[in-house]
């Protein structure tokens, strides 16, 4: 049994579609939780004008009845309100009006290489699908995965660690309670002082026509030991998580736990020593490994960090080349955000949740959610795991 997520749609097209296959029957879903995650993706100081137009809401069109999954594919649709302003340019069918092609690729975007790869002359044919607007559909699919994980005692959260030069102090340990008010922060940062400095940084660089990158962290609590496997490379869960998070637009690096930091440490300071007592069973006092050893979860919180580059659409465009004339030109100037690191963290939640849900489905199967719960309980009893 596996879990599959497919998205379709363009940034300014009629809408986005998300299809999730492989969830068990009988899983209770919350429409409020689904729409809340979509709204959370639109949060964050530094967002642009598009967020004032869109108010994302997912319409369930298949696979769910009266709030419960049926065991078949689930289909959701998110309508693009901005399509009303783009209907001639993005209509799926031919229109009478002439629509000018766009020939000004942006450095750092998919524009140029996409036109080369697919043999197209209009960079809009590429940029519309490459746009991070696609992540709204991923967040919808991830919200379903989070509902499944929640039914098994797993919670997934995110927060921002850094925006350009401003970093928040690391806090350990963190618990689910620490994330209760994270969305109240304008940059989704757990440290109020660092959050204020991040807001000031965004304001300063936005006035200078710059975009900003940064680092977000996703944490999953309650994940049992033994998801993933060491026996083959494609089953290693850290590799699968890294691929999923690095697939998010503008993410250029991923670490599991303290991955980047431990590369500069001696071995005695890089690993998590193992202890045992009757009350807690096997446990570790540190979690530098981010809850994964040998490609498998350890029972500690899973910690994944995403490193986001500054967005490639700038209000003061970079130098480029007109692909029709090969003459020097400024890159396309599209309506854009200055900083989307807080929103990227929400997308990161969706991707981490989906990979973990996929691993649970592969390990425990089950046609109904009660079958899954029973299989998980039997496994926990066999290994003597204590939450």
Model pLDDT, residue 347: 98
Model pLDDT, residue 333: 86
Q: How confident is the model at residue 168 (pLDDT cuts 50, 70, 90)?
A: very high
Residue-wise pLDDT tens digits, 75-133: 999 999 999 999 999 999 999 988 999 999 999 999 999 999 999 999 999 999 999 99
- Both tokens of 337, joined, read 């955000």
Architecture of domain 4-383: 4-Layer Sandwich (3.60)
Q: pTM of the full predicted structure?
A: 0.96
Q: Is the model's pLDDT at 48 over the cut of 70?
A: no
Model pLDDT, residue 54: 61
Residue-wise pLDDT tens digits, 310-327: 999 888 899 999 999 999
Residue-wise pLDDT tens digits, 229-243: 999 999 999 999 999
Q: Is the model's pLDDT at 334 over the cut of 90?
A: no
Closest CA to 346 of 127, 126, 52, 33: 33
Closest CA to 46 of 207, 252, 215, 254: 207
Model pLDDT, residue 230: 98
Q: What is the mean pLDDT of residues 297-313?
A: 97
Model pLDDT, residue 140: 98
Residue-wise pLDDT tens digits, 342-357: 999 999 999 999 999 9
Q: How confident is the model at residue 387 (pLDDT cuts 50, 70, 90)?
A: confident
Q: Where are the beta strands (DSSP E) in the chain?
A: 4-9, 15-21, 58-62, 64-65, 68-69, 74-79, 155-163, 166-167, 214-221, 251-256, 274-277, 281-284, 292-293, 296-297, 302-308, 319-321, 328-330
In angstroms and rounded to an integer, the radius of gyration of the C-alpha atoms of the chain is 22
Q: What is the mean pLDDT of the chain?
A: 96
Question: What are the helix (H) ranges across 247-368?
Answer: 259-262, 341-364
Q: Is the model's pLDDT at 67 over the cut of 90?
A: yes
Model pLDDT, residue 1: 79
- The verdict on whether omega for the bond into residue 173 sits within 30 degrees of 0, i.e. cis, is yes
Q: What is the mean pLDDT of residues 38-60?
A: 80
Residue-wise pLDDT tens digits, 24-42: 999 999 999 999 999 999 9
Q: Is the model's pLDDT at 386 over the cut of 90?
A: no
- Side-chain half-sphere of 117: how many Cα atoms within 13 Å? 8
């Amino acid at each position: 049994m596996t879990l599959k997520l497919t998205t379709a749609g363009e940034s300014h097209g009629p809408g986005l579609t998300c299809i999730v296959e492989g969830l068990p029957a009988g899983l209770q879903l919350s429409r409020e939780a689904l729409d809340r995650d979509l709204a959370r993706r639109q949060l964050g100081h530094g967002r642009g004008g598009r967020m004032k137009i869109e108010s994302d809401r997912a319409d369930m069109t298949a696979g769910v009845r009266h709030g419960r999954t049926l065991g078949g594919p689930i289909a959701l649709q998110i309508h693009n309100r901005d399509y009303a302003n783009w209907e001639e340019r993005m209509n799926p069918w031919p229109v009478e009006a002439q629509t000018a092609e766009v020939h000004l690729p942006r450095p750092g975007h998919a524009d140029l290489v996409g036109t080369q790869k697919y043999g197209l002359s209009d960079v809009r044919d590429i940029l519309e699908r490459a746009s991070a607007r696609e992540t709204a559909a991923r967040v919808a699919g991830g919200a379903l995965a989070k509902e499944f994980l929640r039914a098994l005692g797993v919670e997934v959260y995110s927060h921002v660690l850094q925006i350009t030069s401003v970093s928040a102090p690391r806090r350990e340990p963190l618990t689910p309670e620490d994330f209760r008010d994270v969305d109240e922060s304008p940059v989704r940062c757990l440290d109020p002082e660092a959050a204020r400095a991040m807001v000031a940084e965004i304001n300063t660089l936005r006035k200078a026509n710059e975009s900003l990158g940064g680092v977000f962290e996703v944490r999953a609590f309650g994940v049992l030991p033994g998801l993933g496997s060491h026996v083959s490379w494609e089953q290693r869960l850290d590799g699968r998580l890294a691929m999923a998070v690095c697939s998010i637009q503008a993410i250029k690096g991923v670490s599991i736990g303290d991955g980047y930091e431990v590369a500069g440490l001696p071995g005695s300071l890089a690993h998590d020593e193992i202890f045992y007592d009757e009350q807690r069973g096997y446990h570790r006092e540190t979690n530098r490994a981010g809850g994964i050893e040998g490609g498998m979860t350890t029972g500690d919180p899973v910690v994944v960090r995403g490193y986001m580059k500054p967005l490639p659409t700038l209000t003061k465009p970079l130098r480029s080349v007109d692909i029709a004339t090969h003459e020097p030109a400024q890159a396309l100037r599209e309506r854009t955000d200055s900083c989307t690191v807080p929103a990227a963290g929400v997308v990161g939640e969706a991707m981490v949740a989906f990979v973990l849900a996929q691993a649970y489905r592969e390990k425990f199967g089950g046609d109904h959610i009660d079958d899954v719960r029973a299989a998980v309980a039997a496994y926990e009893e066999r290994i003597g795991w204590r939450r």
